[in-house]
Structure 1
């Protein structure tokens, strides 16, 4: 992969990372709003929390791809 291709690939990953972070924040807000009602559907909350964890894992993988390995 050429340097230009690698930079374009990294740019795409950064955009995808920002989208995932935004989705993660939105889920967090939705979970908080449901919990604050005091009448939250526990099944719906569990599903939202599971989605949030899946997004967190995807975010971590993308961050790993974007962070160069440093040999100490």
Structure 2
């Protein structure tokens, strides 16, 4: 997998996490621990994208 393909895959994962966070937040009783973990994963992916993406 090339670096560009890897970055695109990470961006897709990042988007998926956005959707999961939105779904969890829209529930009647959202799980704050789950939301925090999803946001942590999203931030980790964003950091990796920024590290890999050409500036």
TM-score, normalised on structure 1? 0.71
In our comparison, the structure showing a higher alpha carbon Rg is 1
Larger relative contact order (CA 8 Å, sep ≥ 6): 2
Measure how far apart 1:40 and its partner are. Answer: 1.0
Unaligned runs of 5+ in 1: 1-10, 68-72
TM-score, normalised on structure 2? 0.92
Structure 1 segments (4+ residues) deviating >6 Å: none
Query: Quick one: which of 31, 34, 37 aligns to 1:41?
Result: 31
Unaligned runs of 5+ in 2: none
